[in-house]
Structure 1
Amino acid sequence: MTWSAEGARDGGSRRPHVCLIAMHFPPSRASGVFRPLAMANHLVAAGWDVTVITATRAFFEDVTGSTDDALLDQVDTRIRVRRVPVPADHLVTDVRRMSWQRAHLPKPVGAWQRARRRFAFPDRYERWIPGVVACAAEFNRTHPIDVVVATGNPWSAFEAGRRIATSGARLVLDYRDSWTLDQFRERDAFSPGDRAWAAERRLVDAADLLVFVNEPMRAWHARRYPDASRRMTVVENGYDPALLGDIPFRTPEPGPLRLGSIGTVTEHWPHETWLGWDEARTAPELAGAQLRLYGHLGFSPAAGATIAAMLPGADRGVVWAGPVQKSGVGALYRSFDVLVMMIPSSRYVTAGKTYEYMATGKPIVAIHGPESAAALPMAGYPLLYGGTDLDPRAVAESFRAAARRARTVTAQDHARAQDHARSYRRDRLLAPFEARLRELLR
């Protein structure tokens, strides 16, 4: 079975058909939505028929608790989107929203669920798998699937993709996160003998291509599964120019500088470095300055109170301003004089905001250790301060240096910084990925 450069098979005119399994897709506002959105848009623009299988709106509203309808406008109208309900009663913590059986018979239901987990695919969303497979089987009869791209987490998407691909399609597994690697603690996520290891091994063996968001993560999996290393590649996250918009050069206004951070605030941030911010605020360069944080507190509503308690508060010049719709991100970036990026100091974590921050062309205070995977794309960014030491005194000096530089940045400096970022545009990063998918069909 071969395809021409235009996607015609065996001399015919049919475009290659990719089925993208992504639980998080617009209107979801989860941080993982932007990678599959960019993939789908890029592939349909490159000549593929694209069908996305995702969750229903009810799941985003009732379980994950975040939606952004503005993101629906970013989905290319040529993309077919199929929404499969996610059985989620076992995930509901509010007794008022539980099923009658779970609310009134918690012990028998709990015992049945524990027994079921001993045999089911080892992922909390495994009940989604049959619906996804059935959905794909339905349209595969009239519109054959050539490539299945499953993005995780959740890892049930991988297993659904494996089952769908048994019909003859190629299978691509996109590790947006890691499953058996604890990215933050840099160690195995499961004990030896856990069922997750065998499940991942089965998936890795079945995959025609395994994709990772950074080289350290790819290398870890290559060491774990050396026989699959040649089928592994890296597609970094990058940034979406259409979502970010134009960020022109401007000089700071008179008065206190505007410092900002955009992105999910997590418990994995190096919160101990807030002492460095306290010290920096005493410097003339940061007199009266506030640091405004925009984003969700954690990855679930339950985490909010715990994370809020880790933040300094307005009396120390830090204001949590809440989440912002993606359509408003560009305006926020334009309003900031200095960007502050706090992320875990892990070899395996590259925050998506790393690329957006660089695309603004503004001074960045990087608060993470030198081992962080974010240090790789940021190497050479001309307006970077920090990222080498988490000692509060070093963090304070990074804030002061970025503040001083914000007052002296020129249009040429701004242009050079944005030039560095352009190689990380999502369309440029996805072009080799799209070519690799076509190679699978030769």
Structure 2
Amino acid sequence: MSNHNILLMYTITPKNHSAFQRMNALIQYLSEKGHNMHVLCAPDDDYSHYQYKDNVSFHFLKDKGLFKRLDFKKSDGKIFHKIKAICNVAISYLIPNPNYNWTKRAYNQAKEIIKKNNIDTIISSYAPNAPHLVSLKLKDDFPKLKWIADMRDEMSTSPYLKRLARYYTKRCEQKSVNNADAVVSVSEPILEDFKRFCKTPSVIFKEIRNGYNFDADKTSPLTNNERFTITYLGSFYGDINPNNFLKALSNLMAKQKLDIKVNFIGRSIPIKIPDNLKDIVHTQGAVPYDEVKVHMKQADALFMIYPTINRHGVYSGKLFEYLASGKPIIGMLDPTDVASKLIKQTNAGYTSCNSDIDGIEATILQAYTAWKNKEVLERDWDLVEDHHRSKQADKFDALIQELHQG
């Protein structure tokens, strides 16, 4: 097994925790394997919280473009938050590549990094398009470079893209899957979509899922809570909302008195809480990533939701951390999709379709009854531990070795 000089490009920052954790794990574990990591990314003060080996070099490049997406901050008031949201929507409609300035400058800086450090491998991460666009030009300049296009999620088929952005993203997508040496995504269904665009037989397609990056908690999930505490950690937006969960819980509480408490922790759209639940449903803003494990530890069950829509292959980053927490999961999910299947394979919880109110009600009651009787699900820890971030980095390492042996 040989070590390589790798250029990793992305524009997400530690503030974007769920997306950033994948990049952070690659830096951490590939460098531990002896690869020399050169990271070209957007600057962020939060990097000071992370410790990396000496064979990791950061090349920070600020996006000086006029039209770029605005970051949301905890200090933003409601009006300022709405103004930022409107601006971001306008940018997504009107500006096909809001990271144009970063793309142009990153290309020039990447060329210098490649020449000075004998780079032989590029890993570019979407979204946005910018890292792939830079890699396309670098592949033309340095044909012997091995390029891994890490898509993570969908590109042009994403339901969140506006028309103009979808058009330009599709162009980037088609060029990337046909010019990269390997294309990586978090699930097989998403990977199959990328294969449809590929006319280059030599391209390797590889599923490398997201994961968790802490020691799995195999101790008893039971707590001393007087009430069955269900916790949701993450944002609510669009179709990802707790409306049907609250309807089902309201119906259940109207039928029988249950000792239940619900915590929604994270950024959220306005939530309409039924009158009979107002004393038991509590909302809290986003918490630092380091506090997430504390809230998981204090819960009796962890709640996750993904609507049953015409979109497949979405695990949701929180699923893997939920699995490692040892707590039972209450999942409102498409029963035919990957997240629900993984929960069943690991015996980690209870699931029902998000559109099935009666089914959700039954699922909540099933989890509550198990808690009341102090019953613990026997989790498949071997399968859970296959999703540690280090194992996912192992797959990237194996892919790098395969590309350079070919």
Matched, 1:150 2:113: no
Superposition deviation, residue 371 in structure 1:
3.2
**Cα distance, 1:196 vs structure 2:** 3.5
Cα deviation for residue 308 of structure 1 reads 2.1
Per the alignment, residue 248 of structure 2 pairs with 276
- Residue 403 of structure 1 aligns with an amino acid whose one-letter code is Y
- Cα distance, 1:79 vs structure 2: 1.8
Query: Which residue of the partner structure matches residue 381 of structure 1?
Result: 346
- 1:425 and 2:375 correspond: no
Aligned residue among 281, 290, 294 for 2:261: 290
Tell me, in whole angstroms, the C-alpha distance in 1 between the residues paired with 2:299 and 2:138: 46
Tell me the secondary structure at the aligned position of residue 241 of structure 1.
coil
Change (3 A) 1:354 1:201: same
2:45 is equivalent to residue 72 of structure 1: no
Cα 1:158–1:193 shift into 2, 3 Å: closer
TM-score, reference length from structure 2: 0.83
Query: In structure 2, how many angstroms separate the alpha carbons of the residues matched to 1:193 and 1:252?
Result: 47
Q: Which amino acid aligns with 2:270?
A: A
Percent identity reads: 19
User: How far apart, CA to CA, are the structure 2 residues paired with 1:330 and 1:398?
Assistant: 24
CA distance in structure 1 between the partners assigned to 2:317 and 2:247 by the alignment: 26
Residue aligned with 1:308, SS: coil
Deviation of the 1:397 alpha carbon: 1.3
Q: Deviations over 1:124-175 (max 9, x none)?
A: 2222112212222222232111111000001111111222333232111101
The number of residues matched between the two structures is 379
SS in 2 for 1:328: helix
Identify which of 175, 196, 219 aligns with 1:223: 196
One-letter amino acid matched to 1:280: L
Structure 2 gap segments, 5+ residues each: 72-90
Query: Which residue number in structure 2 is paired with residue 102 of structure 1?
Result: none
- 1:143 corresponds to which letter in structure 2? N
Distance (whole Å) between structure 1 residues aligned to residue 225 and residue 296 of structure 2: 18
Answer with 165-174 or 212-221: which moved more.
Answer: 165-174
- Measured after TM superposition, the shift of residue 84 of structure 1 is 0.3
Q: 1:170 to 1:92 in 2, by over 3 A?
A: closer
Instruction: Determine whether 1:6 maps to 2:14.
Output: no
**Residue aligning to 1:308:** 270
Measure how far apart 1:260 and its partner are. 0.4
* 2:150 alignment partner in structure 1: 174
Q: Could you tell me how far 1:410 is from its partner in structure 2? A: 5.5
Check 1:190–1:178 CA distance in 2 against 1; reply closer, same or farther (3 A cut).
farther
The match for 2:290 is 327
Q: Separation in 2 of the partners of 1:399 and 1:71?
A: 41
- Which of 86, 92, 112 is equivalent to 2:63? 86
Per the alignment, residue 22 of structure 1 pairs with: 10
TM normalised by structure 1 equals: 0.77
C-alpha change, 1:312 and 1:320, in structure 2 (3 Å) is farther
* Equivalent residues of 2:335, 2:351 under 8 A apart: no
CA distances 1:71-91 after superposition (whole Å, capped 9, x unpaired): 832544542111101124223
Q: Which residue of 2 aligns with 1:258?
A: 229
Which letter maps to 2:61?
V
Mark the runs of 5 or more structure 1 residues left unpaired by the alignment: 8-15, 58-66, 95-112, 298-306
Q: Does 1:160 align with 2:134?
A: yes
Question: Aligned partners of 1:384 and 1:362: how far apart in 2?
Answer: 8
User: How far, CA to CA, are the matches of 2:224 and 2:166 in structure 1?
Assistant: 59
Quote the residue 1:64 is aligned against: none
Q: Map of 1:172-251 to 2, 5 A cutoff?
A: 172-183=148-159, 190=163, 194-225=167-198, 227=200, 230-241=203-214, 246=217, 248-251=219-222
Residue 276 of structure 1, CA deviation: 0.9
Give the Å deviation of 1:257.
1.6
